[in-house]
Amino acid sequence: GQNIDQPTEMTATEGAIVQINCTYQTSGFNGLFWYQQHAGEAPTFLSYNVLDGLEEKGRFSSFLSRSKGYSYLLLKELQMKDSASYLCAVKDDYKLSFGAGTTVTVRA
């Protein structure tokens, strides 16, 4: 099975940087995904890592270390619209398993 851990909540100021950590223990690994979910809405895809290292996409970056079972999502130049839940998910051969999500609150 999968065991995926991430912090429950984080708060940051507009314009700042926030790093959301995710640790995982899995029986199979075919990639790690980050999703953004606003309250009451469907998750939307942010990033994908399958090899070690950093993937950058505009204000969002994601890092993976397979040997450590560790990933982080970095959100730069925070905006009020970034207030949302961020879900870490690991894919085995057939399906995605999700962490409980980290709620990020951006303050003015």
Of the residues 22, 24, 35, 73, which one makes contact with another protein according to CB under 8 A: 35
Strand partners, 54: 63
Q: Does 7 bind another protein (CB under 8 A)?
A: no
- 16 neighbors 75 (Cβ within 8 angstroms): no
Tell me how far apart the terminal alpha carbons of the chain are, to the nearest angstrom. 40
Of the residues 82, 101, 104, 106, which one makes contact with another protein according to CB under 8 A: 101
Q: Does 44 bind another protein (CB under 8 A)?
A: yes
Of the residues 73, 89, 90, 106, which one makes contact with another protein according to CB under 8 A: 89
Q: Does 61 bind another protein (CB under 8 A)?
A: no
What letter represents residue 41's amino acid? E
E strands, 6-83, where?
Answer: 9-13, 18-25, 32-37, 44-49, 53-57, 60-65, 70-75
What is the contact surface with another protein in residues (CB under 8 A)? 1, 4, 8, 30-31, 33, 35, 40-45, 48, 50, 87, 89, 91, 94-101
